[in-house]
Chains A and B, each alone.
Chain A
Amino acid sequence: MATLEIDRVRKSFGSVEVLKGVSISIADGDFLVLLGPSGCGKSTLLSMIAGLESVTSGEIRIANDVVNDLPPKDRDIAMVFQSYALYPTMTVRQNIEFGMKIRGVQPAERAKATLAAAEMLQMKHLLDRRPSQLSGGQRQRVAMGRAVVRDPKLFLFDEPLSNLDAKLRVDMRTEIKRLHQRLGTTIVYVTHDQIEAMTLATRVAVMKDGVVQQLDDPQVVYDRPANTYVAKFVGSPSMSLIPARLAVDGAGAVAVFDIPNEKPARISGIPIAKENATKFNGQNVLVGIRPELFTVSDGKPGRTISVHIDVVEPTGPDTLALFQIGGVEVTARVPPKTVEARKSATLTVDTTKIVLFDAVTEDRID
């Protein structure tokens, strides 16, 4: 078990810089998720932590040791790959024991460790099969078993669930969470799936173009995204970002939405810090509203907005209603059968959870 510090790390392939000074620091036992679209540098960063890629500049420290120049085998890490990377010609048992064999662990001890890992992951009956005889989920289990027997300081997961079908993905996600709770080992986990990030992480680092956009607890990332990029990337359906003009009154900020040929709509009671209230008064901003902040109106004035519903998408537990405000499409999550398509509706907004973004820099306004 160990802390991990990534300190102003850069990585270039030739003239292309894929990591532009990344700093992340996590505590012992943390579950860090590196979240971002493909090509954002998250997998490269993981490879650098593993020692499979060299570090162009900056430092990586595992348990306060600088590991920049250590080969992977000396970093005391274990890694689970997207394609599982099981050795195809070896049985499950041989796969799990391969690393111990190289480190010179005695056969009796190897067998014991293998059995313990197999028991923990409920795959004792698979030990003598070959990878080609296993299902995707079973392969995933074996890959995790191979990592677990090392008892490393740090677990690395590289999109481990992307090759599984939807149902299995949810099961294995729980499995990984259980593993973390049980072992308490520090984990770094790469994914492009924001739900995996939300469910698994104790810390999430949202990355884009080789830069960390936000490093926070998952709930903070969800509730208070650092910029519009994070706001859009985390949460599904994603947060609506509506252009508006900001006015300030005694109770906080008021967002004024221009509606063509009509009186502008207003939503008041948005929290804003004092210094920003004066700074952004009368400025253009983006108003970030998550779908669940809308409720079908209880008639309280000032926090309601009248809309014309375009499309209704029932999902079962609730219904997504799509409509236009200020020229952009907005999604609301409302109870089933409470709104109808092509009809008007009055919706109330929980304004205390609205997030404002600077229209120019797209950063959050506190």
Chain B
Amino acid sequence: MKRSIRFSDRLANWLPRLVLTPSLLVVLVAVYLFIAWTGWISLSSSNIVPRYDFVGLEQYVRLWSTPRWHTAVANLFIFSSLFLGLTTGLGLLMAILLDQRIRAEGALRAIFLYPMALSFIVTGTAWKWILNPALGVQKVVNDAGWTSFVFDWISQPRFAIYCVVIAAVWQSTGFAMAIFLAGLRGIDNSVIKAAQIEGAGLPLIYRTIIVPMLRPAFLSVIVLLSYVAIKSFDLILALTNTGPGSATEMPSTFMYAATFRRDQMGVGAASAMMMLMTVAAIIVPYLYSELKETRDGC
């Protein structure tokens, strides 16, 4: 006596796959196909409109012979290293301070984190005003009596990029803090107690035991913030608008300007591909290791 399988049951077996398919297709098109498309444009002679021919690496050669692009790459390097270093360091410091059974911890945490809720455009607008030499911080210090104090980085081509760093660090430290704090809270207290019984002081315990245990948190913070650094675009437009001159040009702003303003679609696509490759070099190994670990976990 074998009961026949109903059609609805067979459909039920396929339903999960059917449900996932649209998302998969959309992402395959909007992420992977579009990347390939951009890649193709970067190998074509496209200028004002896309042209689907093939000129080899011509656009990449043009890109790398553009002084502005060199500025952008140099700026990205300066910006990323300072941004990563400061955000990680400051975030770790905040997390450790907050982890000392502090009164009003919740309020302080909220204060350190609120900039993350703001748009980079809002941040940029605010800091542009604060860093304004005529009316901002410089004037406050001058009025307070220190008349020789000069803080006009935002109008100095050599220093403007550091203004971007300040604003970006202000915005993103809370993120690093949140992840470090989560990491600290995950550490078994008995480890600290055991070290205390052996006579180690708190600074030593932090340096030799706790910070090394935060390795996964460091990895997450650095990887995710690198991604933020590479794609940062709105902050620069709002704060310096890539100026003075092109002193704060970054790959993201270069790509946008080349594509939509200077009718160099091919060069823009080439710069986009350079950005993508940089991000992929950082993110893909990270995702792979995260996914692999979860697979081992079960």
Contact with A along B3-42 (1 / 0, CB 8 A): 1010001001000000000000000000000000000000
Give every chain A residue within 8 A of B103 (Cβ-Cβ): none
Query: B277 to nearest A CB, angstroms?
Result: 35
Query: B4 to nearest A CB, angstroms?
Result: 8
Q: Is B2 an interface residue (CB 8 A)?
A: yes
Give every chain B residue within 8 A of A74 (Cβ-Cβ): 3
Q: Are B1 and A66 in contact (CB under 8 A)?
A: yes
Give every chain A residue within 8 A of B9 (Cβ-Cβ): 69, 71
Query: A53 to nearest B CB, angstroms?
Result: 13
Closest to A71 in B: B9
**Bound form: Cα–Cα A328–B182 in Å:** 52
Q: Are B12 and A66 in contact (CB under 8 A)?
A: no
Query: B12 to nearest A CB, angstroms?
Result: 7
**Bound form: Cα–Cα A69–B12 in Å:** 13
- Which residue in A64, A65, A67, A71 is a CB contact (below 8 Å) of B12? A71
Number of contact residues on A: which range applies? under 10
Q: Is A111 an interface residue (CB 8 A)?
A: no
**Bound form: Cα–Cα A253–B1 in Å:** 51
Give every chain A residue within 8 A of B12 (Cβ-Cβ): 71
15 contacts between A and B (CB under 8 A): A64-B1, A65-B1, A65-B3, A66-B1, A66-B2, A66-B3, A67-B3, A69-B2, A69-B3, A69-B5, A69-B9, A70-B3, A71-B9, A71-B12, A74-B3
Contact with A along B53-72 (1 / 0, CB 8 A): 00000000000000000000
Give every chain A residue within 8 A of B2 (Cβ-Cβ): 66, 69
Give every chain B residue within 8 A of A64 (Cβ-Cβ): 1
**Bound form: Cα–Cα A256–B5 in Å:** 62
Closest to A61 in B: B1
Give every chain B residue within 8 A of A67 (Cβ-Cβ): 3
**Bound form: Cα–Cα A25–B12 in Å:** 31
**Bound form: Cα–Cα A69–B2 in Å:** 9
Give every chain B residue within 8 A of A65 (Cβ-Cβ): 1, 3
Q: Name B residues whose Cβ lies closer than 8 Å to a Cβ of A.
A: 1-3, 5, 9, 12
Looking at B1, B2, B5, the one whose CB has the most chain A CB atoms below 10 A away is B2
Interface of A is mostly: loop
Give every chain A residue within 8 A of B5 (Cβ-Cβ): 69
User: Lowest 9 A-B CB distances belong to which pairs?
Assistant: A66-B2, A69-B5, A71-B9, A65-B1, A70-B3, A66-B1, A64-B1, A65-B3, A71-B12
Closest to B10 in A: A69
Closest to A68 in B: B2
Give every chain B residue within 8 A of A69 (Cβ-Cβ): 2-3, 5, 9
Query: B34 to nearest A CB, angstroms?
Result: 35
Contact with B along A35-77 (1 / 0, CB 8 A): 0000000000000000000000000000011110111001000
Query: B80 to nearest A CB, angstroms?
Result: 44
Closest to A66 in B: B2
Give residues 116-174 of A contacting B (CB, 8 Å).
none
**Bound form: Cα–Cα A76–B3 in Å:** 14
Closest to B8 in A: A71
**Bound form: Cα–Cα A70–B9 in Å:** 8
**Bound form: Cα–Cα A66–B9 in Å:** 16
Give every chain A residue within 8 A of B1 (Cβ-Cβ): 64-66
Closest to A59 in B: B2
Closest to B9 in A: A71
Query: A259 to nearest B CB, angstroms?
Result: 48
**Bound form: Cα–Cα A259–B62 in Å:** 91
Query: A304 to nearest B CB, angstroms?
Result: 53
Given contacts A69-B5, A71-B12, A74-B3, 5 further A-B contacts (CB under 8 A): A64-B1, A66-B3, A67-B3, A69-B2, A69-B3
Query: A245 to nearest B CB, angstroms?
Result: 49
**Bound form: Cα–Cα A258–B161 in Å:** 88
Give every chain A residue within 8 A of B3 (Cβ-Cβ): 65-67, 69-70, 74
Give every chain B residue within 8 A of A70 (Cβ-Cβ): 3
Query: B247 to nearest A CB, angstroms?
Result: 57
Query: A74 to nearest B CB, angstroms?
Result: 8
Query: A48 to nearest B CB, angstroms?
Result: 16
Closest to A73 in B: B9
**Bound form: Cα–Cα A74–B2 in Å:** 13
Give every chain B residue within 8 A of A71 (Cβ-Cβ): 9, 12
**Bound form: Cα–Cα A70–B12 in Å:** 12
Query: A60 to nearest B CB, angstroms?
Result: 12
Query: A59 to nearest B CB, angstroms?
Result: 9
Query: A54 to nearest B CB, angstroms?
Result: 10
**Bound form: Cα–Cα A69–B10 in Å:** 10
Give every chain B residue within 8 A of A66 (Cβ-Cβ): 1-3
**Bound form: Cα–Cα A65–B3 in Å:** 8
**Bound form: Cα–Cα A64–B2 in Å:** 10
